[in-house]
Amino acid sequence: MKLEDLVTPALVVDAGALDHNLRTMSEALPGARLRPHVKAHKCTALAARQASLGHRAFTCATIREVEGMARAGLGEDLLLANEVVDARRLARVEARVTLAVDSEATVDVAARDGIREVVIDVNVGLPRCGCRPDRAGRLADRARSAGLLVRGVMGYEGHAMPIEDREKRREVVAQSMALLVEAHAAVGGEVVSAGGTGSWDMNEWATEIQAGSYALMDTAYAKLGLPFRQALFVLSTVISKNESFAVADCGLKALGMDHGNPTIERGRIWFCSDEHASFAPEAPLSVGERIRVFPAHVDPTVAYHERIHVVEGEDVVDVWPVDLRGW
């Protein structure tokens, strides 16, 4: 099969760029130093590639991801880095599963539903999940008194990731990790889990880094000057043209747009609607021509698609199901 044979919009990954990204990260953060986050690609075939390079522990965002990774034989050490209020499905997974908790309620859920291991999730500046650092020790005590093994702490400095100035980003990461280190001193355990693609090489405090987007990359992370290549794009077809603009057949239902407009080959995006991307071409295009569209946010982009087409040049060499979609 060739690229030109694909029905568009089609999610495509360049095999050479992907291999470069996986090997670059495995050499820099070998083995247990990286706990890849599968929410970025939601694909057990890609996770197996990561495992083959030494990354045997994984981070998950949903129960569905945990279940799918276990079924694929990748359940050696799975961290669900998210709070849940019903963990019964997790307790039935045949894998080592660690659950993030950030409140008395989520600790009690873990104990009630048969979870054995937890980490204390700490808010380090991103207004999302996580307890205050000064409450982490008390939560750990409650978890241990309920019979849970507390492996350590986790915290995500996600608010630092979009900062393009490297020194400013490093400063924010350091501030966030000071809070996590404070919490870890009260909690104990061997795990300090944090970090992402934007801080993978500057987070000196975490014992493991939860980077995920590095494997496929997007245009938001590309602004940071990272050593990872843009491996993923959405192949699209020009379906209409006007004197001043053209329209491709990929829009909001094929692209993650929360980080801004995608970058389009041979043109500048004006806007995206449900099924269309309107853009100003740099040179004349014909209806029927194929173009590559590079998303600003890889995670939701992948989740919109059922399969990933792996290509070498113009040849489609493999098709991977996006088998961890949904909840």
- Which residues have C-beta within 8 Å of that of residue 165, sequence separation ≥ 6? none
Q: What percent of the chain has a predicted confidence (pLDDT) above 90?
A: 98
Q: What is the mean pLDDT of residues 249-257?
A: 97
Q: Within this chain, do residues 110 and 47 fall inside the same structural domain, yes or no? A: yes
pLDDT given for residue 128 in this prediction: 96
- Which residues have C-beta within 8 Å of that of residue 55, sequence separation ≥ 6? 26, 31, 34, 35, 36
> What is the span of the domain harbouring residue 299?
3-11+228-321
Does residue 98 surpass a pLDDT of 90?
Answer: yes
Q: What is the mean pLDDT of residues 211-236?
A: 98
Q: Within this chain, do residues 57 and 199 fall inside the same structural domain, yes or no? A: yes
Does residue 210 surpass a pLDDT of 90?
Answer: yes
Q: What is the mean pLDDT of residues 233-255?
A: 96
Query: What's the total number of domains in the chain?
Result: 2
Q: Within this chain, do residues 152 and 246 fall inside the same structural domain, yes or no? A: no
pLDDT tens-digit series, residues 155-208: 999 999 999 999 999 999 999 999 999 999 999 999 999 999 999 999 999 999
Residue 119: left (phi > 0), alpha (psi -120 to 50), or beta?
A: beta
User: Looking at the domain assignment, is residue 220 inside a domain?
Assistant: no
Domain end point (choices 170, 187, 215): 215
- Which residues have C-beta within 8 Å of that of residue 171, sequence separation ≥ 6? none
Distance from the Cα of residue 94 to its chain's centroid: 23
CATH code of the domain in which 281 resides: 2.40.37.20
User: Looking at the domain assignment, is residue 234 inside a domain?
Assistant: yes
Domain end point (choices 183, 215, 247): 215
User: Looking at the domain assignment, is residue 279 inside a domain?
Assistant: yes
Q: Within this chain, do residues 205 and 113 fall inside the same structural domain, yes or no? A: yes
User: Looking at the domain assignment, is residue 199 inside a domain?
Assistant: yes
**Tokens standing for 8?**
């568009």
Q: Within this chain, do residues 238 and 202 fall inside the same structural domain, yes or no? A: no
The three-state (H, E, C) secondary structure of 268-305, written as one string: EEEEECCCCEEEEECCCCCCCCEEEEECCCHHHHHHCC
User: Looking at the domain assignment, is residue 223 inside a domain?
Assistant: no
Does residue 61 surpass a pLDDT of 90?
Answer: yes
Does residue 310 surpass a pLDDT of 90?
Answer: yes
d(CA 194, CA 285): 45
Indicate the average pLDDT of the chain: 97
pLDDT given for residue 74 in this prediction: 98
Does residue 266 surpass a pLDDT of 90?
Answer: no
Q: Within this chain, do residues 199 and 238 fall inside the same structural domain, yes or no? A: no
Domain end point (choices 151, 185, 215): 215
pTM summary value: 0.96
Q: Within this chain, do residues 193 and 313 fall inside the same structural domain, yes or no? A: no
pLDDT given for residue 64 in this prediction: 98
Q: Within this chain, do residues 188 and 210 fall inside the same structural domain, yes or no? A: yes
Does residue 265 surpass a pLDDT of 90?
Answer: no
Q: Within this chain, do residues 201 and 298 fall inside the same structural domain, yes or no? A: no
